[in-house]
Chain A
């Protein structure tokens, strides 16, 4: 089945450790996105990539890093510089033209930093 797979679904880490969240899609979409959601809040954009080997910062990129070496994959690293990393992280990709196509989400990864 075509879709977006995020892993792990749940992750616990100690403060000061870097964490990498995986996002893989087999929809042949060019553009991919990472959003962060805090409890009771909306979605905020962390990073996005419209093409392989290129990515742009979103509204809250500080403390995060990404790579886009393959079309199918867009991993997100939450670094120790991120002050409040505990959140729900959602990966998405868009079909058709970037930003005007239909956005689809993975099931999310819940990160808890102890």
Chain B
């Protein structure tokens, strides 16, 4: 099945710093989503982005489907950005549910 790798696994930032999270996948995809899991465990949808670029406030995402990666940008980070960021994909080749990466754990310190 499709493999999803996220990097870095852990990231510590000072409040106000910018960061880039990466998601690599091993096959062509027709679905890619980014989620933020907050400290209480809730999974929040950030972007539905199988291709192209989207922006929502301080967050933006780009998926380059032909090169099999997606990037999540966080600018001017805040302590409330802390948590785990997951990338999930579905391969074009199989009608299977979303496969999740292991996540990037982000800690933003004041």
Contacts and interface: CB of A to CB of B under 8 A. Distances in A.
Interface of A: 33, 35, 37, 41-45, 48, 58, 88, 90, 98-105, 107-108, 110
A52 B35 CA distance: 27
Interface of B: 30-31, 33, 35, 41-43, 45, 48, 50, 86, 88, 90, 95-103
Main secondary structure of the interface of B (DSSP, over half): strand
Nearest to B87: A42
B95 A99 contact: yes
29 contacts: A35-B100, A41-B102, A42-B86, A42-B100, A42-B102, A43-B86, A44-B100, A45-B97, A45-B99, A58-B97, A98-B95, A99-B30, A99-B31, A99-B96, A99-B97, A100-B30, A100-B31, A100-B50, A100-B90, A102-B33, A102-B45, A103-B33, A103-B45, A103-B88, A103-B98, A105-B35, A105-B43, A108-B42, A108-B43
A61 B24 CA distance: 27
